Structure 1
Amino acid sequence: MPPALDPMIGRYLRLEIDCVPHRLYFEEAGPANGIPLVCLHTAGADNRQFRHLLADPQVTKRFRVLAFDMPWHGKSTPPDGWEKSEYRLTTASYTAAIRAFCQTMELDRPVVMGCSIGGRIVLNLAIAHAAEFRALIALEAADFQQPWYDTAWLHRPDVHGGEVCAALISGLIAPQSPPVNRHETLWMYMQGGPGIFKGDLYFYRVDGDLREKVKVIDTKVCPLYLLTGEYDFSCTAEDTLRTASHIKGVEVQIMKELGHFPMSENPAKFREYILPVLDKIATQDRG
C-alpha cells in the first residue's frame, strides 16, 4: 500500500467551560470558509467515530467539519483536580461544552450533528439555543428512553470496564454492518476512561429527560432533522417517531440496515442518508 495522509488535521483548543479551564482535542477537515459542521460522538467514545465523514470529499467540499472529544474523552484531558470528583455529565454541562467550543472557535451559526447522547443534547440545543445554529441533526435521538442496562457494571475494580462497555453496545450494531467497521466501533468503546461511560449515562438515564420540553421547538428558527437506524433498540424507531410527533416541521427518517452508530458501523450506508440532508442544508444556506 502506498503511503497516504488522511485529510483531517488534529489540534488542541484551550478554552473555559463554565469558568473552568479545559484542553479539548478536535479534528477538522474542509475549507476554512465552509459551512461549519460540528459533530458530537456517543457516550464513552470519541471523535474517531466521525473519521469517515471527515475524510469524505463530497462532504468537505462545502462543509468545514469539526469533531471534538468531550472533556474526559479520547485525547481531551479532564480538568485539573479531576481525581477529587466523580465524572457525571449533565444537560447543563454538556450544553455549556458545545456552546463554548463553537464560541471559542468563532463558528458562525454552525450546524451541529450528534449521535445518541449527542443526539439527545441536539434536542436541547433546539429547545434552548436554536437561534445560534443554522441547522441541527440528531442521530439515534429521542426525548427519553427507558434504560435497558445496569450501570453498576460499568465502573468496578473486578471488571474490565472497556470490555463491558463494548459488550453492552455490541448488539446495537446492525447485522449488515461490515465486520471491520463493527470491530472498530467496539474498539473505541474498549478504550474509554474508567467510569466515563457510566458518567455519560447519567445524562442519558436521569438528567436528560426532555419529554414535554421538545414541544417548544420551533423549526422555523432552526431546521431539525432526526435520523434513527432501524436496528437501534436503545433509541428505537418508535422512540424517535414519538418525539417527532411533538415537533412541528421536523424532518424524520428511519435508516434501513443501520443501528445505533451509523457513522462508524457502516459509513457507506450512512452517507446515503446524510448526504441528502447536508445537500438540503447547503442549498438553504445559499438561499
Structure 2
Amino acid sequence: MALDIEPILGRYAHIAIEGVRHRIYWEEAGEGIPLVCLHTAGSDGRQYRAVLNDPNITRHFRVMVFDMPRHGKSSPAPGTVDDDYSLTAAHYVAQIMAFCEAFELDRPVAMGCSIGGRIVLHLARHHPQAFRALIGLQSSAHVDPYYDTGWLDRADVHGGRMCGAFAHSLMAPTSPSEHVDETRWHYMQGGPGIFRGDLHFYRGAEGDIRDELAKIDVAACPLHLLTGEYDFSCRPEDSRALAEALGIEVTIMPDMGHFPMSENPEVFLGYLRPVLETVRAAQAA
C-alpha cells in the first residue's frame, strides 16, 4: 500500500508580538492569495486540516494556519508560563497583524471561527485596508454568558475532559463521529486555563463589538459570514442580526455546529469554495 502523505508543511517562526518574542508554530499548503485561518478558543490550527488538504483551494490560495501563543505547538512567551491568561481584543489583533507582517503577506484573506469569527469583526473595524476579504465562521457581535467558566480551571475537575465535553455539546449530532472525536480530542489537549482565558475575550466586554458595528465599512473590505445552524454559542439568529446590522448576507449551513471546518469538513468545503471563488473573481477584476 502506497504511503499517503499530506501536502502540509509545518514549521516554527520567531515573531515579536507587542514587543515580546514568541516561538510560533504554523502550517501551510498551496500558493497564491494568502488565506490566514484562525482557530477557535482553547484549540489549535489542526481544525483547518481539511482546508489545508483541499487541492481545489490550495491551487489558488496559500493557506496558512498558526497556533496562537499558548495553544497547540506555540509555547507561552519566556517567563510567562505561570501567568494568569486572559485574552484581550488588542492582543488578539496584535497576534494576527504580527503574523501577517512577519511573512510580508500582501492583503491576505483572514478566516476565523468562534473567537476567530469575532476577531475578524475587529479587523474589519480597525484594519480593513490590510485585508482583501474577511470570512467569519460562527460570527456574532457578542454572546451572553450561559455557564460558569470556573469549572474549566478547578483542581477537582479534569480540565481537558471538561473542555472536550463542552466542545462536544456544540457540535451537530449529524456530524461524522470520526471528525467529532478529533475535534474534541484537540480540546482535551489544551493547556490549563487556556480555554477559559480565551473566553474572557469571547464572552466578556473585551470582544463585544455591538457599539462599533456602525463604524465597519464592508465596502472597504468584503465580509462573508457562514454559520452552522446547530449552535447555542452563536445561534443562526445571532449571525443574522450581525448581517442585518452590517447590511450583508449570511449563509446558514444546515446540520452543522460550532466547528464547521473541523466537525464536518467535507460539507463545509462545499460552502467555503464559492466564497473563495468570489474573492478570486474580485482579485481578477
Normalising by structure 2, report the TM-score.
0.98
C-alpha deviations, 1:139-171, integer Å up to 9, x for none? 001000112121001111211101001111212
CA shift, 1:84, in A, is 4.2
The correspondence of residues 189-204 of structure 1 with structure 2, limited to 5 A, is: 189-204=187-202
More displaced stretch, 35-44 vs 146-155: 146-155
Q: Aligned residue for 1:279?
A: 277
Aligned counterparts of 2:220 and 2:210: Cα–Cα separation in 1: 20
C-alpha deviations, 1:243-282, integer Å up to 9, x for none? 111113x231111110100001001110111111011101
Structure 1's consecutive aligned runs of 4 or more residues displaced over 4 angstroms after TM superposition are: none
CA shift, 1:83, in A, is 3.1
Q: Aligned residue for 1:234?
A: 233
For structure 1, list consecutive stretches of 5 or more residues without a partner in the other structure: none
Q: Aligned residue for 2:81?
A: 83
Aligned counterparts of 1:5 and 1:24: Cα–Cα separation in 2: 24
Q: Aligned residue for 2:51?
A: 53
Aligned counterparts of 2:148 and 2:276: Cα–Cα separation in 1: 36
The letter for the 2-side match of 1:225 is: H
Aligned counterparts of 1:13 and 1:215: Cα–Cα separation in 2: 37
Q: Aligned residue for 1:178?
A: 176
Q: Aligned residue for 1:13?
A: 13
C-alpha deviations, 1:209-252, integer Å up to 9, x for none? 1012112111111000111100011000001111111113x231
The correspondence of residues 229-268 of structure 1 with structure 2, limited to 5 A, is: 229-248=228-247, 250-268=248-266
Residues 44 and 189 of structure 1 are in contact (CA less than 8 Å); yes or no, is this contact kept in structure 2?
Answer: yes
SS in 2 for 1:246: helix
Q: Aligned residue for 2:29?
A: 29
SS in 2 for 1:26: strand
Q: Aligned residue for 1:38?
A: 36
Aligned counterparts of 1:175 and 1:4: Cα–Cα separation in 2: 29
Aligned counterparts of 1:210 and 1:188: Cα–Cα separation in 2: 28
The letter for the 2-side match of 1:30 is: G
Q: Aligned residue for 1:211?
A: 210
More displaced stretch, 207-216 vs 96-105: 207-216
Q: Aligned residue for 1:144?
A: 142
Aligned counterparts of 1:53 and 1:128: Cα–Cα separation in 2: 27
Residues 224 and 251 of structure 1 are in contact (CA less than 8 Å); yes or no, is this contact kept in structure 2?
Answer: no
C-alpha deviations, 1:80-105, integer Å up to 9, x for none? 11134211100000000000000001
Normalising by structure 1, report the TM-score.
0.97
The correspondence of residues 77-116 of structure 1 with structure 2, limited to 5 A, is: 77-116=75-114
Q: How many residues align?
A: 284
Question: Over the residues paired in the alignment, what is the CA RMSD in angstroms?
Answer: 0.8
Aligned counterparts of 2:81 and 2:124: Cα–Cα separation in 1: 34
Q: Aligned residue for 1:161?
A: 159
Aligned counterparts of 1:12 and 1:220: Cα–Cα separation in 2: 35
The letter for the 2-side match of 1:53 is: V
The letter for the 1-side match of 2:64 is: L
